[in-house]
Amino acid sequence: MFRVSDLVDLPVKTVKGGMKQKYAVKSVLIDGVNNRAAALVCKEGAIKKYLKIIPYEKIIAIDIDGIIIPDDSCISKISSKDIKNYFQLEDIVNKTVLNLSGNLQGTLTDLYINLLTGKIASIEVSEGYLDDLVRGRRIVSLEHAIKNDISSEGITANLKLY
C-alpha cells in the first residue's frame, strides 16, 4: 500500500526521455464510483481551464524516487469541467468520519492505494493531535467493507464522511 499524499510532488519520468524528470505530480484524481485512483495531475493549464493528467493505467512503476511512464503520449488533457466526475485528494482530506451509527470516528487524513490496481485499500483516520501522539492514527481497511462508496459526501464503508 502507498499513501496517496506521498504521490504529490513525486517526479514523473519517461522511459523514452532517458528517465529525466518531465513533470511533478500536483494532485491525484479519485474515481468515487470505482473507489480508485483514476489519474495523476501533473500540470495545470492557464487559468485552470484544463489539467494535464496521467491515467493510472499508463503508469509503469511508482516508488519513492518517482513515477515512470513510457513516453509523453501517456499524458493527456482533461478540461476542468470534466474533472467534476472525480475528486481531488484535497477535496476529501479533513472530512469528518462517522460510522454508520453516526458516532464520531475522527478526521480523514489520507488514503492508501494498492499500487498495482490503484484501488483504495484503506483510509487513515485521526482522532486529534493528542490521540495521534499517544496512540497514532488509525488505518481503516476498505477491502472487506459491505458498502464501499465515494460520493460528494465522502467515503462510505462502515464509515461516513461529512
| pTM assigned to the model | 0.78
Q: Are residues 16 and 84 part of one domain? A: yes
Query: In angstroms, how far is CA 140 from the centroid of its own chain?
Result: 15
Residue 132 in this model has a pLDDT that exceeds 70: no
Task: Report the domain count for the chain.
Answer: 2
The predicted pLDDT at position 136 comes to 67
Residues spanned by the domain of 35: 2-89
| All cell numbers assigned to 113 | 492505494
- DSSP letter at 119 equals B
Average pLDDT of the residues of the chain:
79
Residue 96 pLDDT class (50, 70, 90 cuts) = confident
Give the ranges where the chain is alpha helix by DSSP (H).
89-92, 129-134
Q: Are residues 55 and 15 part of one domain? A: yes
